[in-house]
Amino acid sequence: MSTIEYVKNFIKDPNIASITPTSQRGVREVCSKMDLSKKVVIVEYGPATGVFTNYLLEHITPDSMVIAIELNENFVDYLKKNVKDSRLKVHHDSAENIIDIVRSYGLKKVDYVISGIPFSLMDEDTREDVVKRTSHVIRKDGKFLLYQTFFQKDEHLKVHLEDYFSKANDQYFMRNIPPLRLYEAIK
Ligand SMILES: C[S@@+](CC[C@H](N)C(=O)[O-])C[C@H]1O[C@@H](n2cnc3c(N)ncnc32)[C@H](O)[C@@H]1O
């Protein structure tokens, strides 16, 4: 998708939250926290044009799977037309429905969930609910990896990660426009 098309979607849909896709350096930094050398199931919230999706498909094993959940219909259509890979399953849905989506594949748990959806725009109950449901489907020692804009407040996300995961690390990452706050929550 061209930059102009992406920006047009951004103007129409506040849930997109970032005016540019994540930088390749940002993608590599987040993905370095996963072990992609083994068979894995990864859920991706908010893939948009697929900067993370494409990186994952290039690096996962042939028997691994990526389940992408995207709220914006234009991005869902774009991914379905442009990313042809049988390991990718794209859902036009909300992250809130992760449990049913994962179960629809006959799975109880997944290895990793990656997310760029804007927690600061959600109401308090939804934020906690998404973190709680996500923790429910991640296997022991699996991870919930999140990238948010750098001004993210602790009450938007970190407090909930600390409640539902055994460990929640965070860091600032400057090599992105805008800079990011990254979280690594370990089950
Ligand atoms: C900041 S963009 C991230 C896009 C892309 N992954 C990247 O790194 O450039 C956030 C994306 O999350 C999607 N989104 C927002 N809320 C969502 C929700 N509740 N469930 C699934 N996707 C959501 C938006 O439509 C948008 O595509």
- Enumerate the domain spans of the chain: 3-186
DSSP type of residue 15: G
What CATH number has the domain spanning 3-186? Answer: 3.40.50.150
- Comparing 178 with 136, which gets the higher pLDDT? 136
**Mean pLDDT of all residues in the chain?**
94
Strands 180-186 and 167-173: antiparallel
**Residue 15 pLDDT > 90, yes or no?**
no
**Residue 19 pLDDT > 80, yes or no?**
no
CA of 138 to the centre of ligand 1 (A): 20
Using DSSP, how many helices (H) and how many strands (E) does the chain show?
Answer: 7, 7
Atom number, ligand 1, closest to the C-alpha of residue 69: 21
Atom number, ligand 1, closest to the C-alpha of residue 94: 20
